[in-house]
C-alpha cells in the first residue's frame, strides 16, 4: 500500500488516476489510501469555479490553466458534470474546452459525474482534490456543475471561490438570492463582448454592498471574454491577492471546518451503508410498517 501511495505522492499519473477511481467508486479499502493521502494535503491552492451552465466556466478554466503553466505552476482540474438520475450514466464533456492541455505533463484533468450527490459536486470531490494536492499540484481548479441555486458546498471545498455570470443578470437574480452572493470571493462577468456588461457589473457591485461579508475580504467584480483570452490576467491577480488574504486570515479555521465536513460525509456514508439495507426496508414496508417504524426496527437490530 505504501508503495502505491508513494507513487501518488511522486506525481505518478497512472497510480493517481487509479486512486481517483477507487475513491470515486468508494471501492473496498479506499479509506486506507485516503488516510495516507490526507496527511499529505494542504499545500495546493484550491480554486472553485461555479456559475450557470454555458457561462464559460470550462473556457475560463482552460485559460487559467494556460496562465498558471506560463508561470511555471502545475495544475490539477476536477471538472464535474451531472449524472443522469435515470440511467446512472453521464456524458462528461468539460475537457472539450481544455483540449490544448491534454498532453502537458504539468496538467492533470479529471472528469467526474455527480453520481446522485446534490449541490454541484460529487461525494468524492474533496478526496479527489486531496489526491491532486498530494500529487504535488500547485493549483487545483474545481469546475462545478452549475445547475442548482444551492451550490454552496464549493465554498467549503475551495480556498478561493469564483462565481461566473454573464451580461443580462435577470435570470441570475434567483441564484443570487439563494446565497451564491455570499460564497463569491471573486465575481466575473464573462462574455463581456456582449451588450449590457457595464450594467451587470454595476448591479453586482450594488448588491455586493448589501451582502454581509463573512470574512472581511473585499469582493471584486471583473470583466472577461474568456473565449478570446481577455481579462484573464486580472483574474489571476485577484486570485493571488485572495490567496494571500486566505492564507493569512482564513486558512487555519477553514482547514479545520473542511476536515470536519469530510468527516461528516464519511460518517453519513458509513451509517447509510450499515443501516439502509434496501431489501430489508422494502420487506418491512411491505409488511405494512410506516417508514419511521421500519427504520427504528433496523436501527435497533444494529445494536
Partner 1 sequence: MSKIRVLIAKPGLDGHDRGAKVVARSLRDAGYEVIYTGLRQTPEAIVATAVQEDVDAIGLSILSGAHNTVFPRIIELLKEKGASDIVVFGGGVIPETDIPGLIDAGVAHIFTPGTPTEEVVKFLAEKVTPKNRA
Ligand X SMILES: Nc1nc2c(ncn2[C@@H]2O[C@H](COP(=O)(O)OP(=O)(O)O)[C@@H](O)[C@H]2O)c(=O)[nH]1
Site residues, partner 1 (CB under 8 A): 1, 4, 13-15, 17-22, 25-28, 33, 83-84, 87-93, 95-96, 99, 102-103, 108-111, 113, 115
User: Which C-beta is closer to partner 1: that of 17 or that of 285?
Assistant: 17
231 is a site residue for ligand X (CB under 6 A)? no
160 is a site residue for ligand X (CB under 6 A)? no
> Edge-to-edge strand order for the sheet containing 186-189?
107-113, 75-81, 139-143, 45-50, 160-165, 186-189, 220-223
Question: What residues contact 91, with CB distance under 8 A and at least 6 apart?
Answer: 81
227 is a site residue for ligand X (CB under 6 A)? yes
Cross-strand pairs, 12:
none
User: Which C-beta is closer to ligand X: that of 75 or that of 226?
Assistant: 226
Contacts to ligand X from residues 70-99, by CB under 6 A: 97
Spatial CA neighbour of 74 closest among 18, 154, 114, 134: 134
55 is a site residue for ligand X (CB under 6 A)? yes
The angle that helices 291-302 and 278-286 make with each other, rounded to 10 degrees, is 130
**CB 4, min distance to partner 1, A:** 5
User: Which C-beta is closer to Mg ion: that of 58 or that of 74?
Assistant: 58
Interacting partner of 56 out of Mg ion, ligand X, partner 1, none (Cβ under 5 to 8 A depending on kind): ligand X
Interacting partner of 253 out of ligand X, Mg ion, partner 1, none (Cβ under 5 to 8 A depending on kind): none
Spatial CA neighbour of 131 closest among 261, 243, 2, 5: 5
Interacting partner of 53 out of Mg ion, partner 1, ligand X, none (Cβ under 5 to 8 A depending on kind): ligand X
User: Which C-beta is closer to Mg ion: that of 58 or that of 83?
Assistant: 58
144 is a site residue for ligand X (CB under 6 A)? no
45 is a site residue for ligand X (CB under 6 A)? no
The angle that helices 251-275 and 125-135 make with each other, rounded to 10 degrees, is 130
**CB 214, min distance to ligand X, A:** 25
The string of DSSP letters for 186-252 reads EEEE--TTSTTHHHHHHHHHHHHHHSPPSS----EEEE-BGGGTBSHHHHHHHHHHHHHHIIIIIHH
Interacting partner of 87 out of partner 1, Mg ion, ligand X, none (Cβ under 5 to 8 A depending on kind): partner 1
User: Which C-beta is closer to Mg ion: that of 94 or that of 133?
Assistant: 94
- Decide: helix, strand or coil at residue 214: coil
Spatial CA neighbour of 59 closest among 161, 168, 143: 143
291 is a site residue for ligand X (CB under 6 A)? no
**217-to-161, 170, 182 alpha-carbon distances in Å:** 12, 26, 11
Whether 81 contacts 68, CB under 8 Å: no
Of 10-18, 168-176, 202-210, 220-228, which segment contacts ligand X by CB under 6 A?
220-228
- φ and ψ at residue 147, rounded to 5 degrees: -95, -50
Residues within the interface to ligand X (CB under 6 A): 53-59, 97, 146, 190-191, 193, 225-227
Amino acid at each position: 500500500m505504501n508503495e502505491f501511495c508513494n507513487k501518488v505522492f511522486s506525481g505518478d499519473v497512472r497510480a493517481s488516476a487509479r486512486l481517483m477511481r477507487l475513491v470515486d467508486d468508494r471501492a473496498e479499502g479506499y479509506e486506507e489510501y485516503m488516510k495516507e493521502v490526507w496527511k499529505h494535503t494542504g499545500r495546493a491552492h484550491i480554486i472553485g469555479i461555479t456559475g450557470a451552465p454555458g457561462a464559460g466556466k470550462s473556457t475560463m478554466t482552460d485559460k487559467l490553466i494556460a496562465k498558471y503553466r506560463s508561470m511555471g505552476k502545475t495544475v490539477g482540474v476536477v471538472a464535474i458534470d451531472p449524472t443522469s438520475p435515470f440511467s446512472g450514466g453521464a456524458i462528461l464533456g468539460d475537457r472539450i474546452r481544455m483540449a490544448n492541455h491534454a498532453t502537458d505533463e504539468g496538467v492533470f484533468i479529471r472528469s467526474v459525474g455527480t453520481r446522485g450527490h446534490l449541490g454541484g459536486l460529487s461525494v468524492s470531490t474533496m478526496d479527489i482534490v486531496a489526491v491532486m494536492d498530494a500529487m504535488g499540484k500547485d493549483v487545483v481548479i474545481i469546475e462545478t456543475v452549475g445547475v442548482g441555486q444551492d451550490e454552496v458546498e464549493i465554498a467549503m471545498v475551495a480556498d478561493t471561490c469564483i462565481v461566473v455570470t454573464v451580461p443580462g443578470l435577470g435570470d441570475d437574480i434567483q441564484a443570487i438570492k439563494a446565497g451564491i452572493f455570499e460564497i463569491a470571493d471573486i465575481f466575473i462577468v464573462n462574455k463581456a463582448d456582449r451588450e449590457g456588461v457595464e450594467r451587470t457589473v454595476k448591479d453586482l457591485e450594488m448588491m455586493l454592498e448589501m451582502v454581509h461579508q463573512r470574512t472581511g475580504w473585499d469582493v471584486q467584480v471583473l470583466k472577461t471574454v474568456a473565449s478570446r483570452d481577455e481579462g484573464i490576467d486580472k483574474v489571476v491577480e485577484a486570485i493571488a491577492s485572495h490567496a494571500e488574504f486566505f492564507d493569512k486570515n482564513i486558512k487555519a479555521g477553514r482547514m479545520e471546518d473542511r476536515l470536519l465536513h469530510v468527516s461528516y460525509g464519511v460518517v453519513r456514508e458509513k451509517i447509510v451503508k450499515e443501516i439502509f439495507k434496501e431489501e430489508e426496508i422494502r420487506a418491512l414496508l411491505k409488511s405494512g410498517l410506516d417508514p419511521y417504524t421500519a427504520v427504528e426496527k433496523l436501527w435497533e437490530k444494529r445494536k
